């Protein structure tokens, strides 16, 4: 039986990054950049003031408290460039008039003379004003010609902010992998419908649909299918015709009478690359390549098993299609002693949290049985315990992965 790393290597063999797709910056949210974004304007675009106050000409020296400046006019945010003959009142974000070179905040001046409308005509500064004070320089955040974002970056709200800041309205992204998901099982019932005798809720379908989108792929087809070969075969043919690159099924890959997935794949002429791995949960995982090159993952039906198959094998393929390197785990100390049987990699629902010493550590959660759903909702990470290990002592470093392949996400609610 294959080890998990060897299995991942077989999945990644020959996989190439998807083609580039130009999309608007809004549509880029959640997608991965195919090429570097080069900034083609300075941010900020011009020298401007960080404070409300007065723009002064101090030259190369530091103006001293008690110095007096004549004031003429004002410069507000949005006012165009102009030359100044004297100091001027200035508002945050306004362009520094040509000839002025420092800003004194309004709190650090005294008005000596004012006009009928109450505008200052002469001011005295009450603190030192060094040259350049409170001026935000053109290009100080990011300069024209610089790389704003690297290829491989995922566009979230913060990256969207940067794109907006530099006026970038369109980006080249990696086309999202197209994916189809089929849940097999005549016992499956959706929310809202009553549970008949012997029936259970379909939890994998909604779970994996959400996980697929969160992983950066596009769900092209989704269906719940009975325990028969023909509907699955038709669904696979329809999915490949719709452009699916990756097809997932749940259930029907174990050793039961109704575990028909391998048979369907053989009938379609697929190459079954592996079936069963040295791991738990999710040992019956099946991986095949269809004649058209599409990747097929037969995930076991138990929710935690399908979660492991998706997270550690399907996501590896999705990353390659997105042009991302294989994941690197975090290494964190184990909270408490643990034991496992040797001979298989154990993927455990885990919580990265603060230990008594105030440092991050990882706790293996209770309820690791693969039919259990609740512990996954309480986890914020996966721990991967190596195949050969039997005894793990508190404090040793173990591999920890985020629930999503992008990395760990620690909300403060789950840290304590
Ligand atoms: P199977 O691999 O088809 O033998 O299914 C293994 C176990 O997972 C059985 O207890 C199934 O009832 C359960 N199961 C299969 N599919 C789902 C699903 N979509 N949601 C929740 N449980 C499922
Ligand atoms: Mg089944």
Model confidence over 33-91: pLDDT tens digits?
999 999 999 999 999 999 999 999 999 999 999 999 999 999 999 999 999 999 999 99
User: Which residues line ligand 1 at a C-beta cut-off of 6 Å?
Assistant: 183, 185, 187-188, 200, 202-205, 250-252, 254, 256, 300-303
CA of 251 to the centre of ligand 1 (A): 5
pLDDT of residue 91: 98
Strands 188-189 and 200-201: parallel
Give the position, in ligand 1's atom list, of the atom nearest the Cα of 302: 8
Could you tell me the strand order of the sheet in which 102-105 lies? 102-105, 53-56, 87-90, 68-75, 120-125, 109-114
CA of 300 to the centre of ligand 2 (A): 8
How much is the average pLDDT of 96-112? Answer: 98
**Alpha helices (H) along 280-408:** 303-309, 315-321, 374-378
To which H or E segment does residue 266 belong? helix 261-267
Residues 295, 363: Cα–Cα separation, whole Å: 34
Residues 294, 288: Cα–Cα separation, whole Å: 8
What is the share, in percent, of the chain residues with pLDDT greater than 90?
97
Model confidence over 298-339: pLDDT tens digits?
999 999 999 999 999 999 999 999 999 999 999 999 999 999
Q: What burial letters (b/e) apply to 173-194, b meaning 16+ CB within 10 Å?
A: bbbbbbbbbbbbbeebbeeeee
Task: Name which of 78, 79, 80, 69 is nearest 103 in CA terms.
Answer: 69
- Band of pLDDT at residue 163, cut at 50, 70 and 90: very high
CA of 325 to the centre of ligand 1 (A): 32
Lowest mean pLDDT among 94-108, 127-141, 366-380: 366-380
Give the position, in ligand 1's atom list, of the atom nearest the Cα of 250: 16
Mutate to test the pocket of ligand 1, among 250, 275, 285 (most ligand atoms within 8 A of CB): 250
CA of 347 to the centre of ligand 2 (A): 22
- Band of pLDDT at residue 415, cut at 50, 70 and 90: low
DSSP, res 4:
H
CA of 110 to the centre of ligand 1 (A): 77
């Amino acid at each position: 039986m294959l080890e998990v790393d060897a299995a991942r290597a077989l999945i990644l063999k020959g996989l190439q990054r998807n083609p580039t797709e130009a999309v608007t910056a809004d549509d880029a949210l959640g997608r991965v950049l195919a090429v570097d974004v080069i900034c083609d304007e300075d941010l900020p675009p011009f020298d401007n003031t960080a404070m409300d106050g007065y723009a002064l000409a101090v030259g190369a020296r530091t103006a001293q408290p008690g110095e007096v400046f004549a004031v003429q006019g004002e410069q507000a945010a949005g006012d165009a460039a102009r030359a100044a003959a004297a100091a001027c009142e200035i508002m945050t974000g306004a362009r520094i008039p040509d000839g002025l070179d420092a800003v004194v905040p309004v709190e650090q001046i005294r008005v000596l003379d004012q006009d009928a409308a109450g505008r200052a005509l002469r001011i005295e500064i009450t603190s030192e004003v060094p040259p350049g004070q409170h001026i935000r320089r053109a290009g100080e955040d990011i300069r024209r010609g610089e790389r704003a974002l690297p290829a491989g970056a995922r566009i979230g709200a913060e990256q969207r902010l940067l794109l907006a800041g530099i006026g970038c309205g369109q980006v080249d992204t990696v086309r999202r992998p197209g994916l189809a998901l089929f849940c097999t099982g005549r016992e499956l019932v959706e929310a809202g419908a009553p549970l008949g005798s012997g029936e259970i809720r379909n939890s994998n379908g909604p779970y994996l649909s959400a996980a697929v989108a969160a992983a950066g792929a596009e769900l092209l087809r989704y269906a719940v299918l009975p325990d028969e070969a023909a509907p699955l075969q038709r669904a696979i043919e329809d999915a490949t015709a719709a452009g699916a690159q990756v097809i997932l099924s749940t259930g029907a890959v174990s050793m039961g009478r109704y575990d028909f997935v391998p048979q369907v794949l053989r009938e379609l002429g697929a190459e079954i690359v592996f079936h069963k791995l040295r791991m738990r949960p999710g040992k019956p995982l099946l991986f095949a390549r269809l004649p058209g090159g599409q990747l097929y993952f037969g995930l076991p039906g138990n929710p935690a098993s399908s979660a492991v198959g998706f997270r550690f094998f399907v996501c590896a393929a999705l990353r390659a299609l997105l042009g991302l390197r294989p994941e690197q785990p975090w290494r964190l100390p184990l909270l408490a002693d643990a034991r496992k049987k040797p001979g298989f990699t154990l993927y455990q629902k885990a919580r990265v949290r603060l230990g008594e010493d105030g440092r991050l550590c990882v706790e293996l959660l209770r309820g690791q049985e693969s039919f259990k759903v609740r512990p996954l909702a309480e986890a914020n990470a996966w721990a991967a315990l190596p195949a050969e290990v039997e005894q793990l002592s508190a404090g040793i470093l173990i591999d920890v992965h985020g629930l999503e392949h992008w990395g760990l996400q620690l909300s403060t609610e789950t840290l304590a």
